[in-house]
Amino acid sequence: MIDRKTAWARLAARITNEIVVATYSSATDWIATVDRPLNYFSFGAMGLASSHGLGLALARPERRVLVLDGDGSLLMNLGTLVTIGAVAPKNFTHIVARNETYEANGGHPIPGRTAHFAGLAREAGIAKSYRIDTLDAFEALIPALLHEDGPIFVELIIAQGVLSPRSYKDMYRKERRVAFRQALQDG
């Protein structure tokens, strides 16, 4: 299994001007790894990171949008996979960190723990769907995640870990929102 923080660090080392939409545990680990103006956080809206990311991808087709999601979060909005498959944004990459728990809510097991999200995504019309269970395989896939036409979906098999510190007040502070808007305008 993969350590999510290590995977996000490897991804962060390769990003440039991509929009990164992250939620819950993925978001707290992402902001601990790289705090940048083009980070968009989706807290308090479990399941909607993929919908927020899809909206940004459709509105800004010139920019790559990466969604860092969790398996528990995606379960709250599985229908988004069908929508993503139908509109097929070329600039969209959806990475789901799978540890079979609602990690941010105490580590309770998710239902349907045998479901394969990459298979669900593929059946929903996302042809480029991968199930990755080693850090080396994830790192090898990063160039494609950043540069190939999408949509791309990755089910990243991770270990449940210690959560990074979480501060909703910091994530939603006005200066962060202003910086995000300015970074979008700057192109």
The rounded distance, in Å, linking the Cα atoms of 7 and 30 is: 10
Residue-range domain boundaries for the chain: 4-177
pLDDT category at 76 given cuts 50, 70, 90 is confident
Is a pLDDT exceeding 60 seen at residue 106? no
Which two tokens mark 145?
């995640």
Which two tokens mark 142?
């990063």
Q: What is the CATH number of domain 4-177?
A: 3.40.50.970
Tell me what pLDDT residue 115 has. Answer: 83
Mode of pairing for the β-strands spanning 108-109 and 101-102? antiparallel
Tell me what pLDDT residue 64 has. Answer: 98
What are 20-36's pLDDT values in tens digits? Answer: 999 878 888 888 899 99
What are 134-174's pLDDT values in tens digits? Answer: 999 999 999 999 999 999 999 999 987 766 556 667 777 78
Tell me what pLDDT residue 119 has. Answer: 97
Which helix (DSSP H) or strand (DSSP E) does residue 31 occupy? helix 24-33
Mean pLDDT of 39-63: 89
